[in-house]
Amino acid sequence: MHLYFLILAGGFGTRLGEETIIPKPMIKIGKRPIIWHIMKIYSHYKFNEFIILLGYKGFVIKEYFANYFLHKNNVKIDLEKNKLEIINNSCEPWKITLIDTGLDTMTGGRLKRAEKYVDNQTFMFTYGDGVSNINISKLVEFHKKNKKLITMTTVIPKEKYGSAEIDENNKIIKFMEKPKIGWSNGGFFVCEPGIFKYIKDDSTFFELNPLQDLALNNQLMAYKHNGFWKCMDTLKDKKELNSMWNNKKAEWRVWD
Cα gap 47→212, rounded to integer Å: 28
Query: Is residue 162's pLDDT more than 80?
Result: no
Strand partners for 132: 229
Domains (range + CATH), the chain: 4-246 (3.90.550.10)
pLDDT of residue 174: 64
- Residue pair 169/69 in contact (Cβ under 8 Å)? The answer is no
| pTM of the complete model beyond 0.75 | yes
| pLDDT tens track for 189-218 | 999 999 999 999 999 999 999 999 999 999
pLDDT of residue 21: 79
**Per-residue pLDDT averaged across 130-149, rounded?**
97
What are the residue ranges of helices labelled H in 159-219? 209-216
| Residues whose CB is less than 8 angstroms from the CB of residue 136 and which lie 6 or more positions away in sequence, other chains included | 41, 42, 44, 45, 47, 124, 188
Phi then psi for residue 225, to 5 deg, are: -110, 115
Query: Is residue 99's pLDDT more than 70?
Result: yes
For residue 16, what pLDDT band results from cuts at 50, 70 and 90?
low
pLDDT of residue 160: 62
| pLDDT tens track for 148-161 | 999 999 998 876 65
